[in-house]
Structure 1
Amino acid sequence: MNWQDLKNGAVDLYDIALMNDYLEMQADNKARIARWREENER
């Protein structure tokens, strides 16, 4: 995605919000996996 996509309407704020939600969910899942590994792989 580049600035032109935002300017010409190919990408809007809803799309950006979805991307942010995905990135937050991905980070949360990675943190949960790391915690699970710490607790269960001893």
Structure 2
Amino acid sequence: MRPVLEGLCRYESLKDGTIDLADLALLNDVLNARADNEALAYKMRVEQYGE
């Protein structure tokens, strides 16, 4: 459901089969990568400049 909540696809697309499991997995991978990158950027910012 994260791709739907993030606005990357519509819930109806999941229900009607427009988006399949492979698409959903790819979207989840992208969201995971973005979250990892944001966490790493935050960590680097804190290490460099402090909180």
Q: Identity rate of aligned residues, in percent?
A: 41
Residue of structure 2 in register with 1:12 after alignment: 20
TM-score by length of 2: 0.68
**Residue 40 (1) aligns with residue 48 (2):** yes
Higher relative contact order (CA 8 A, sep 6+): 2
Structure 1 gaps of 5+ residues are none
CA radius of gyration, larger in: 1
Query: Which of 2, 20, 31 is the equivalent residue of 2:11?
Result: 2
Structure 1 consecutive aligned stretches of length 4 or more whose deviation exceeds 4 Å = none
Paired residue total? 41
Backbone CA RMSD of aligned residues: 1.3
